Amino acid sequence: MSDVNELARVEAYSDGVFAIAATLLILEIRVPSVDPHAPLAALVHELAGLWPSYLAFVISFGTILVIWVNHHGAVRLLHKTSNAFLYANGLLLLTVTFIPFPTALLARYIETDLAGVAVAVYAGSSLLTNVAFLLWFAAMQKPVYLLRKQYSRPQLRKVWMKLAAGQFVYVPAAIVSWWAPRPGLALIVAIFIFWIVMSFEDRSLI
Amino acid sequence: MSDVNELARVEAYSDGVFAIAATLLILEIRVPSVDPHAPLAALVHELAGLWPSYLAFVISFGTILVIWVNHHGAVRLLHKTSNAFLYANGLLLLTVTFIPFPTALLARYIETDLAGVAVAVYAGSSLLTNVAFLLWFAAMQKPVYLLRKQYSRPQLRKVWMKLAAGQFVYVPAAIVSWWAPRPGLALIVAIFIFWIVMSFEDRSLI
Amino acid sequence: MSDVNELARVEAYSDGVFAIAATLLILEIRVPSVDPHAPLAALVHELAGLWPSYLAFVISFGTILVIWVNHHGAVRLLHKTSNAFLYANGLLLLTVTFIPFPTALLARYIETDLAGVAVAVYAGSSLLTNVAFLLWFAAMQKPVYLLRKQYSRPQLRKVWMKLAAGQFVYVPAAIVSWWAPRPGLALIVAIFIFWIVMSFEDRSLI
Amino acid sequence: MSDVNELARVEAYSDGVFAIAATLLILEIRVPSVDPHAPLAALVHELAGLWPSYLAFVISFGTILVIWVNHHGAVRLLHKTSNAFLYANGLLLLTVTFIPFPTALLARYIETDLAGVAVAVYAGSSLLTNVAFLLWFAAMQKPVYLLRKQYSRPQLRKVWMKLAAGQFVYVPAAIVSWWAPRPGLALIVAIFIFWIVMSFEDRSLI
């Protein structure tokens, strides 16, 4: 099997995990129980009350989508794989697979007095995903250089900085959210929008 | 990686999400609990009473299948991707992933006095999916034209009209079903059959 | 996109559904609840008591695997697709996706007085899958002939007979199991083994 | 369809099952229920108490990943398939699909007096997976030789020994863990690390 096919299989497995992690999120939104003879407004009220679940679903689905778009862009830079890269990819997938858990936690506690813990855990989990993504990007370059040759050090550094921005957002977000959950959540949403915008601006490398 | 391979990866990820969303629907049909010493007829009666679950399963599975066939047809028209297209595709997948929730709601409440809300939510969710499909089709043409060149404006307009027909069905269905749930559901099934028939008639473009 | 790629996408989507339906089966085997201070033998006893779940898991996983091997063999015969074929394939996937439900029913009731209903429903569900497979095989030949040309009528007839054998087993199995569930289940296992043996014997066509 | 495409489909189906089995593991980690007006520390305490679930998740995810890396390496050695190989592959996937069940059992009972049973079942399940992997590797060589020709008997024997090492660990682990669960679990983690290290050292063959 050629290296191109090997990369294709890494992508197929990764795409499978991304697709499933994104799709499992819907299982956390449960159909509310309402007395079947209640007025229509009662069910509408219950459905509206699920807004934290809808919001958590959209944020997590969007996060996985952004990771997928970036993963997709970065794999285009490769011409072969290494075992270190395969395990770094596995670690990244592990953190992506974990996402449904903090998502469910967020949906469950965002409206309660315990919102601080839920947002902090969500920020912490996002931080782990971000660290895994940085390791994954590093494993493309060491111990074996897997990239197609045309990328200069400043170009690679620029991508690295863009990814590492997550560190400077998730750590403060985790700390802030302990006392002020909503500003913490706003930081998480902000970096998410930053990455979407960046992926439009600079498509040349990643 | 060539643009052909890039399209292949978009298809692989989309197919994964379509396949999983369709398959997760079965998790909403729960095995009924019957006293193990009851007569056989008691379990048969309970299984027959699950008909709203079977119906909702078939409608939603069919809807995802029709979207898959159309998605499959439309991607054949492309020769490259853009980031706007990738995010529009992500939005479409988000709405498809959401389908198991209104399906479970429909199965749970279709036989109760609250059927109106369940059908209205189902119609509303179908409307969102339809809007996402229209945006996705628009993102194929702007800001970058991704289609292979041989399609004329009247041809593209015809496809658009066929897709946009959903708007003229789901909005009335959502309103009607509030007072008359079954006619509302009939409208949803009708547009679903219309798209199946159309996909047979006009395979030249989509 | 060439017809070869179109077939590849049908296979990818089908493989996704097969893989997920097979994997979801494990969710029906639930960890037993035992008092944490009970003797070790108590948990062993509970785990051993789950044998109907293990058996149902293995039968259904095996069934999906046999369908996958045959699906895989049959698609090799094609050189293009039609919309009728795509919808017949969708119908086949619908019946495969349904399998976790009768599997859970079988696991739940096989040891009770209600085993007859559970086996009859399982046989009925297998019958539907078999009918869908026959329709799918027919859709390869009409209204458009999708097969690569080298297959003679007797060859195709032989495959058809092998598949249609399911009809002559599942209908009696469903009837018999009403009064005698275990012989009914034995019939279902027998046809399953027959197909595995046949797939070894005659690999030339399907 | 060429043999290369046939192998591609085996990989696609296998990757689907691996990806889903790995991702379903997260469903076993449940959001804890805490009184919404409790102090933040109460939820933190509950989340910390889920450590057996996190540990089980990481071990099982890692195990599936190691199997995937080895599967991926071994399929590279093939130039065609046989039905015996397809069924051996199916058996391997069956044991991989089963992994979420002993994982959930381990998470549930590792901290209780019943830990011995949970670790023994986990070791037993790992043993089955290992036997299936050995059968799968054997089916590559008999009754038809599917490997590309350049592999000598000593080379194949070396791979076999590396895989078969599992036998010499899982059997003692299952026995030991009955009286001493934690040393039993340590053995399972040790062979897991051994395989990761080996896959770095000897990438030439598998």
Given a cut of 50, whether residue D23 has pLDDT beyond it is yes
Q: CB of A102 within 8 Å of any CB in chain D? A: no
Residues of B in contact with C20 (CB under 8 A): 19-20, 23-24
Residues of D in contact with C29 (CB under 8 A): 101
Given a cut of 50, whether residue C206 has pLDDT beyond it is no
- C-alpha B20/C-alpha B29 separation (Å) is 16
Residue of B nearest to C95 (CA): B58
Mean pLDDT of D169-192: 91
**pLDDT given at position C3:** 59
CB C16 within 8 A of CB D16: yes
Given a cut of 60, whether residue C205 has pLDDT beyond it is no
- C-alpha C61/C-alpha C192 separation (Å) is 11
**Cross-strand partners of B147:** B78
Residues of B in contact with A8 (CB under 8 A): 5
How near does any CA of chain B get to the CA of C43, in Å? 23
CB B16 within 8 A of CB C14: no
CB C120 within 8 A of CB C184: yes
Q: What tokens were used for B124?
A: 């509303």
**pLDDT given at position A185:** 92
**pLDDT given at position A1:** 38
Contact D114 C20 (CB under 8 A): no
In one-letter notation, the amino acid at residue B184 is G
- C-alpha D99/C-alpha C21 separation (Å) is 16
First to last CA, chain C: 26
| Residue of higher predicted confidence among A196 and A30 | A30
Ranges B196-205, D10-19, D191-200, most confident: D10-19
Q: What tokens were used for A98?
A: 């974990």
Residue of A nearest to B177 (CA): A40
D124 — pLDDT class (breaks 50, 70, 90): very high
**pLDDT given at position D24:** 87
**pLDDT given at position A206:** 43
Q: CB of D16 within 8 Å of any CB in chain C? A: yes
B201 — pLDDT class (breaks 50, 70, 90): low
Write the residue in C16, C25, C43 that is nearest to D114 by C-beta.
C43
Mean pLDDT across chain A, nearest whole number? 86
For an interface test with B, the pick among A9, A43, A69 (most B C-beta atoms closer than 10 Å) comes out as A43
**pLDDT given at position A96:** 94
Mean pLDDT across chain B, nearest whole number? 86
How near does any CA of chain C get to the CA of D105, in Å? 6
Given a cut of 50, whether residue B205 has pLDDT beyond it is no
Given a cut of 80, whether residue B150 has pLDDT beyond it is no
Helix B83-98 to helix B100-109 angle (10° resolution) is 20
Residue of A nearest to D200 (CA): A83
| Residue of higher predicted confidence among C76 and C60 | C60
Mean pLDDT of B120-142: 92
Q: What tokens were used for C68?
A: 């996958």
B206 — pLDDT class (breaks 50, 70, 90): very low
Residues of D in contact with C199 (CB under 8 A): 83
Given a cut of 80, whether residue C94 has pLDDT beyond it is yes
Given a cut of 60, whether residue A2 has pLDDT beyond it is no
What's the pLDDT tens digit per position in A77-114?
888 888 788 889 999 999 999 999 999 999 999 889 99
**pLDDT given at position C84:** 83
| Cα angle for residues D83, D135, D164 (degrees, 5° grid) | 160
**pLDDT given at position D202:** 55
Q: Which chains touch B (3 or more CB pairs under 8 A)?
A: A, C
DSSP class per residue in chain A: --HHHHHHHHHHHHHHHHHHHHHHGGGGSPPPP--TTS-HHHHHHHHHTTHHHHHHHHHHHHHHHHHHHHHHHHHTTBS---HHHHHHHHHHHHHHHHTHHHHHHHHHHTTSTTHHHHHHHHHHHHHHHHHHHHHHHHHTTSSS--B-TT--HHHHHHHHHHHHHHHHHHHHHHHHHHH-HHHHHHHHHHHHHHHHHHHHH--S--
Contact A69 B87 (CB under 8 A): yes
Q: CB of B184 within 8 Å of any CB in chain A? A: no
3-state SS of D136-181 is HHHHCCCCCCCECCCCCHHHHHHHHHHHHCCHHHHHHHHHHHHHCH
Q: CB of A101 within 8 Å of any CB in chain D? A: yes
D205 — pLDDT class (breaks 50, 70, 90): very low
Contact residues for D68 (Cβ-Cβ < 8 A; gap 6+): A13, A90, D15, D18
Given a cut of 50, whether residue C204 has pLDDT beyond it is no
Write the residue in A44, A62, A69 that is nearest to B86 by C-beta.
A69
Mean pLDDT across chain C, nearest whole number? 86
First to last CA, chain B: 26
CB A198 within 8 A of CB A162: yes
Mean pLDDT of B50-72: 88
Question: What is the percent of chain C where pLDDT is above 90?
Answer: 34
**pLDDT given at position D183:** 93
Question: What is the percent of chain B where pLDDT is above 90?
Answer: 34
How near does any CA of chain C get to the CA of D154, in Å? 30
Contact C20 D20 (CB under 8 A): yes
| Half-sphere exposure (Cβ direction) of A162: Cα atoms closer than 13 Å | 24
Mean pLDDT of D180-201: 85
Mean pLDDT of C35-54: 90
Contact A23 B114 (CB under 8 A): no
Interface pTM, i.e. ipTM: 0.84
| Half-sphere exposure (Cβ direction) of D48: Cα atoms closer than 13 Å | 7
Q: Which of D67, D139, D72, D52 is nearest to D99 (CA)?
A: D67
Write the residue in D16, D25, D203 that is nearest to A16 by C-beta.
D16
What's the pLDDT tens digit per position in A30-56?
889 999 888 888 999 999 999 989 988
Residues of B in contact with C108 (CB under 8 A): 31
Question: What is the percent of chain C where pLDDT is above 70?
Answer: 93
B49 CB-contact burial (10 Å; exposed 0-12 / middle 13-18 / buried 19+): exposed
CB B12 within 8 A of CB C12: yes
Given a cut of 60, whether residue A205 has pLDDT beyond it is no
pTM of the model: 0.86
**pLDDT given at position D36:** 87
- C-alpha A66/C-alpha C74 separation (Å) is 38
Phi and psi torsions of D114, nearest 5°: -95, 10
Phi and psi torsions of D188, nearest 5°: -65, -40
| C123-127, C150-154, D71-75: range with lowest mean pLDDT | C150-154
Phi and psi torsions of B78, nearest 5°: -90, 155
Given a cut of 90, whether residue C98 has pLDDT beyond it is yes
Q: CB of A9 within 8 Å of any CB in chain D? A: yes
What's the pLDDT tens digit per position in A108-145?
998 899 999 999 999 999 999 999 999 998 888 877 78
Write the residue in A23, A26, A31 that is nearest to B105 by C-beta.
A31
Given a cut of 90, whether residue D176 has pLDDT beyond it is yes
Residue of D nearest to C29 (CA): D101
C70 — pLDDT class (breaks 50, 70, 90): confident
Q: Is the peptide bond before B143 cis (omega within 30 degrees of 0)?
A: yes
Question: What is the percent of chain D where pLDDT is above 70?
Answer: 93
Given a cut of 60, whether residue B46 has pLDDT beyond it is yes
CB C20 within 8 A of CB C70: no
Mean pLDDT of B141-170: 81
| Residue of higher predicted confidence among D165 and C121 | C121
Write the residue in D94, D101, D121 that is nearest to C61 by C-beta.
D94
Residue C76: other Cβ atoms inside 10 A: 17
Mean pLDDT of B173-197: 89
Q: CB of C141 within 8 Å of any CB in chain B? A: no
Residue of C nearest to B33 (CA): C108
In one-letter notation, the amino acid at residue C50 is L
In one-letter notation, the amino acid at residue B124 is G
D172 — pLDDT class (breaks 50, 70, 90): very high
